[in-house]
Amino acid sequence: DVKVTQSSRYLVKRTGEKVFLECVQDMDHENMFWYRQDPGLGLRLIYFSYDVKMKEKGDIPEGYSVSREKKERFSLILESASTNQTSMYLCASSSNPPMNTEAFFGQGTRLTVV
């Protein structure tokens, strides 16, 4: 059974803390993504990576950074957490065409910044 696993289901952090969200996939996918989901705003792309050590900004990269040192692992870093980063964070992975390009998602991390 294919899997994308996020390290935490729920997290509570304090304003100003450095926060790491980890994601691991076991499908040997080239691409990995970090999205945040807020009511009424859908999934907004923060960053994605198409290869080890390669990354591209999504639509809302401000306040975030990412790291991909190994193909199976993609980390999202909040350098200094703020209350407006309270959200559901979803990690996903996918293959490149001509393989199936569907995204497989993790279970999500609900982050609360207090």
Partner 1 sequence: SQKIEQNSEALNIQEGKTATLTCNYTNYSPAYLQWYRQDPGRGPVFLLLIRENEKEKRKERLKVTFDTTLKQSLFHITASQPADSATYLCALGGGSSASKIIFGSGTRLSIRP
84 makes contact with partner 1 (CB under 8 A) = no
Q: How far apart are CA 101 and CA 70, in angstroms?
A: 20
Q: What is the CA radius of gyration of the chain?
A: 13
Instruction: Answer yes or no: are the C-beta atoms of 68 and 49 closer than 8 Å.
Output: yes
CA atoms within 13 A on the CB side of 109: 25
Contact characters 38-77, partner 1, x per CB under 8 A? --xxxxxx--x-x-----x-xx------------------
Question: Which span (15-23, 33-41, 60-68, 72-80) binds partner 1, by CB under 8 A?
Answer: 33-41
What are the beta bridge partners of residue 37? 43, 88
Strands 54-57, 42-51: pairing kind: antiparallel
Binding-site size, partner 1 (CB under 8 A): 30
Q: Which of 3, 107, 112, 114 binds partner 1 (CB under 8 A)?
A: 107
Q: Which of 19, 23, 24, 35 binds partner 1 (CB under 8 A)?
A: 35
Q: What residue ranges bind partner 1 (CB under 8 A)?
A: 4, 30-31, 33, 35, 40-45, 48, 50, 56, 58-59, 90, 92, 94, 96-97, 100-108
